[in-house]
Copies of this chain bind each other. A is one copy, B any other.
Amino acid sequence: MNIEQYMHSVGRQARAASRAIARADSNAKNQALRAIATAIRRDAGVLLAANADDLAAAGAAGLEAALLDRLTLSAKGLAAMAEGVEQVAALDDPVGEISGLKFRPSGIQVGRMRVPLGVVGIIYEARPNVTADAAALCLKSGNAAILRGGSEAICSNRAIAALVHEGLASAGLPPTAVQVVETTDRAAVGHLISMREHVDVIVPRGGKSLISRLLAESRVPMIQHLDGNCHVFIDDDADPEKALQIVENSKTQRYGTCNTAESLLLARSLAVELLPAIAAMLIEKGVEIRGCPETLDLVVAARPASDADYATEFLAPIISVKVVAGIDEAIEHINRYGSHHTDAIVSENYTSAMRFLREVDSASVMVNASTRFADGFEYGLGAEIGISTDKIHARGPVGLEGLTSQKWIVLGNGEVRS
């Protein structure tokens, strides 16, 4: 069996299993999830041993330290993995929810029912914990999953998959509902993103280069996440105290996350009063400031910002700063340079707040809150399969609902169309 035949066989099995998992009741799905969590705790030693094999191979291959770090499972990490799976079991089942049922003049009653997408392909890199996490979310939302993790984590992923299969079987569900691609052949990804007949959506979890490549080649719809070039705009009518705290939290709480602010826009009327204090706070935390000419006048330590800086997701203690005339320039700047991820205004002005909410074309738009809140857990989704920067299907943090669709249902009493 060559790689194409193998992937199509995986796809066919996933499609067949998707029917069973779609009609499984909440109880069976939750039973499977709890059994998986129990098995992860019971077999922690087995999982750590499999992970040690991956780490040894990765070490011998000279993989860089950051990658080794992401690849490493720990006893504590496994406990968190099991707990994560149990948390998904505790979430409401999105499948079967009926909404909007209304009688029509013809006599029929029309509404919508939430249904699984079918087969979800997850493509990810070194982190083996994604295997359990993604399997749990797909299972709970009634989807079959094909998981294609990084080749460096193949032993860990196989070991986790064995426990997922055990959990599925114990609840009377087909183990093929969650399949880990059993080959490190890179061509597997190419087939996975081309099998429209077997795969309904691709969710990539990884760096921008992975996602850009998949996006260019995928024939299957993707829930994709590209840049997080997030802004905080301090409006003319900002509360200075809130402005300082929101900039501090948005920029400095964590530097490497996609919802970290990378750019600060400041209304001219407040610049002299506010920018020096904000800059002092940032500089004290070790953040490099790259600013416009007005910023440079007010902040001695700032360096000039290039046009490219305003379009950059630094993922580092660097921030671009621009003094703007007001909300019009701010909105235009954000829609032009931003990545449509998350942007916040600090303002006490009702009209400015409403305009910002309406006119900023981003997945999350905030008033007087830190951009760091853009997160499935903070939004109350209970879990997150990813954050979408796309507009079709799902925007922003994607939870269980993002792995479902809605079909129309019609309840009649023998009505016909006239």
Interface of A toward B, CB cutoff 8 Å: 19, 22-23, 96, 102, 104, 106, 108, 110, 113, 115, 117-118, 200-201, 221, 239, 241-242, 245-246, 248-250, 253, 335, 344, 357-359, 361-370, 372-374, 378-380, 390-393, 395-397, 405-417
Contact = CB atoms under 8 A, between A and B. Distances in A.
Contact of A96 (B19, B358, B361): B358
Contacts of A106: 373, 378
Contacts of A357: 113, 409
B364 A239 contact: no
Nearest to A363: B407
Contacts of A250: 416
Contacts of A367: 409-412
Contacts of A391: 117-118, 200, 405
B363 A117 contact: no
A184 to B, nearest CB: 29
B373 A410 contact: yes
A365 B417 contact: no
Nearest to A416: B249
A362 B253 CA distance: 46
Contacts of A108: 366, 369, 373, 378
A370 to B, nearest CB: 4
Listed from nearest, the 10 A-B pairs whose CB atoms lie closest are A369-B412, A249-B416, A242-B414, A366-B410, A372-B417, A393-B393, A368-B412, A364-B408, A391-B405, A221-B392
B104 A407 contact: no
B395 A392 contact: no
Nearest to A118: B391
Contacts of A416: 245-246, 248-250, 253, 369-370, 372
A358 B407 CA distance: 10
Given A335-B19, A379-B110, A395-B407, A417 B366 contact: no
Nearest to A102: B380
A131 to B, nearest CB: 24
Given A19-B335, A380-B102, A392-B117, A368 B415 contact: yes
11 contacts: A23-B359, A106-B373, A113-B357, A362-B407, A364-B409, A365-B407, A368-B413, A369-B414, A373-B415, A392-B392, A396-B407
A115 B242 contact: no
Contact of A392 (B200, B335, B378, B414): B200
A167 B307 CA distance: 38
Given A373-B108, A392-B200, A409 B241 contact: no
A413 B405 CA distance: 34
Contact of A379 (B241, B248, B253, B408): B408
A230 to B, nearest CB: 12
Given A249-B416, A366-B409, A367-B411, 8 more contacts: A19-B359, A115-B361, A246-B416, A364-B408, A369-B415, A391-B405, A395-B405, A396-B407
A316 to B, nearest CB: 19
A406 B391 CA distance: 8
A406 B395 contact: yes
Task: Choose among A242, A245, A397, A410 the residue with the greatest number of B CB atoms under 10 Å from its CB.
Answer: A410
Contact of A221 (B221, B366, B395): B221
Nearest to A365: B409
Contact of A408 (B239, B361, B374, B392): B374
Contacts of A361: 19, 22, 115, 118, 407
Nearest to A201: B392
A249 B417 contact: yes
